[in-house]
Structure 1
């Protein structure tokens, strides 16, 4: 099974929550309340996202975190890489594993590279803005006056 880490999953949830209310400052405690992600995990992820410059940290009383870039320009790949490092499906794709004993005769490395790139491109093709879109935004609800006309 190929699966994102819990940290990457939680990071997307937190970024989506912040992006949905971009004019507010978000604290670890408020995000914990909003998302139910454990507070120590929220704090850890916020630090990683701020270091990756996806979030801006506002210090002091009344501080918190806000978006540091337009949500159209932040991809899911950016978020995943901020908390987990490069997208890498197998160990042989790691730069630190460049001295693999099996590499000289390995038949699969180039194929894994192709698959890894496809997964990365899929994650990179989804902007954070798509994660924030409410399901009913695709099918607009009737205007208030249309509802009133139907009632009367």
Structure 2
């Protein structure tokens, strides 16, 4: 990625209850932020990015809600990079690259295929206390 996450000039943070409605709200918020930042919704990276975001928030809703009453989405961008993170307080850290090789399950495999197909990156970052994590995705624009 040409830009470091710390230097991305556009940022937005959204915290929602870990409920099914969070998926739609996170996606709609991403669309509004992208438009505000001058990134057209017809850009070739946008539809895959929205699908990835939806899948990650869905995973938090399905698998983390019992331990994490909230999910936080961090959106960031520059003129050549789009990044977002989905954070919950469940300690399980999914093996992202296992999803590509077949040892992972379902939606994360799709997420990783899209990320890698677009030349992006994905990483799981544990909270300092080990009781939560963020999945960070970066995609070139």
> Normalised by the size of structure 1, how large is the TM-score?
0.27
Higher strand share: 2
> Normalised by the size of structure 2, how large is the TM-score?
0.28
Higher helix share: 1
Larger radius of gyration: 1
